[in-house]
Amino acid sequence: MDRTANRTTARDVAARAGVSPATVSKALSGKGPVHPETRERIINAARELNLRSSHLEPPRGVKPLTVGLLARESFNRRRTAMVVLSATAALAERDIALLAREGNGDAIREQNTAEALLHNVDGILVVGADGGSYTRPPLHGDITVPVVYVMASSTDPADICVVPDDRGGAELAIRHLLSTGRRDIACILGPSRQEAAKVKSSVTQDILREHGLTLAADPLFGTWDEPWGRQATLQLMHTGARVDGLICGNDRLARGAASALQALGRSVPEDVGIIGFDNWDVMVDGNHPRLSSIDLNLSEVGRAAATILAEQISNPTNVGGTTVIESHLVPRESTDVLSPVSPRP
């Protein structure tokens, strides 16, 4: 008589499934949250080992996993929308339900909403503001479920964060302009208090110094919209500064800059090359010439954050840290090569 089934234990199943015995117990009893994919892997391992259990079929009344998504700003903001949509899709693939809430830019409302979500969710995604990645204080109080911060790094190193690579993107932008032969480069950015604007300015200046160059004019800080891109460009041109390249903090600023240059009779890219950030098709393809841009890979930011949170719900760890999602350059006609000259050493 084969007594193998009688000797199989939860520890054996855990080793086969690559999880802890406690996770096996939760999965087979239905008395704790377990990621659907993990639960399926545990059940398959149990069947392979001939474990006799009355819980190898889905237990009745088991509460499905639910994630709360708390956005600092409106879901109508483009960056927020891209992150939320990709996170939602990643959660749906894992049969995880979603409760989405907006914080309307109010830190107190954000905290209160998070506390209200705790009663109904197994984890929380906190999506930062739309202007770019930045550092923020963590949620406070007795947060009893895993939390992942998206588009914003928590000041607590124990927290888990997923952000786009603004620094790497800025380096790609300035090195690209230099590679096209441009040397007199200026920056048009959002508010000076925001980290995304400060990072793009400082990285640009650092790379220029590597090549024995400086900015053609002081960085122009303002807002993140198209009107400021126009106004800043007109202001820059009226100073008489010699400029053959513009780094704009997003595609809206880049489009505003292009329209201002054309109104002044300056040609893009023959007189001035322009590069933006976000790779927003409405902006880059709607401009003539089409705009070069740095794609911050925001869809992957949302997907990665949702995946990490799902894993934390299934198998919690005490390891925090920040995951930075790599940016990439999308060159188009607005930065066509000015000359064959290589960047000076």
pLDDT in tens, 170-193: 999 999 999 999 999 999 999 999
pLDDT in tens, 280-332: 999 999 999 999 999 999 999 999 999 999 999 988 887 889 999 999 999 99
pLDDT at site 28: 67
pLDDT at site 338: 66
Please return the burial class of 175, using the count of CB atoms within 10 Å of its CB with bins 0-12, 13-18 and 19+.
middle
Q: Quick one: what percent of the chain has pLDDT higher than 90? A: 56
pTM: 0.77
Q: Are 161 and 152 in contact (CB under 8 A)?
A: yes
Residue 344 pLDDT more than 50? no
Which tops the pLDDT comparison, 212 or 34? 212
pLDDT at site 50: 67
Which tops the pLDDT comparison, 48 or 59? 48
Residue 31 pLDDT more than 60? no
Residue in 206, 220, 218 with CA at minimum distance from that of residue 178 = 206
pLDDT band at 223 (very low <50, low <70, confident <90, very high): very high
Winning range, highest mean pLDDT, from 42-51, 135-144, 188-197, 242-251: 242-251
What is the Cα–Cα distance from 151 to 80, expressed in whole angstroms?
9
Structure tokens at 301: 């930011």
Question: Following DSSP, what letter does each residue of 51-115 receive, concatenated?
Answer: ---TTSSPPTTPPPPEEEEEESS-TTSHHHHHHHHHHHHHHHHTT-EEEEEE-TT-HHHHHHHHH
Tell me the three state secondary structure of residue 335.
helix
pLDDT at site 3: 37
> What is the rounded radius of gyration, in angstroms, for the C-alpha atoms of the chain?
25
Which tops the pLDDT comparison, 99 or 342? 99
pLDDT at site 1: 36
pLDDT in tens, 135-168: 888 888 888 899 999 998 899 999 999 999 999 9
Residue 224 pLDDT more than 80? yes
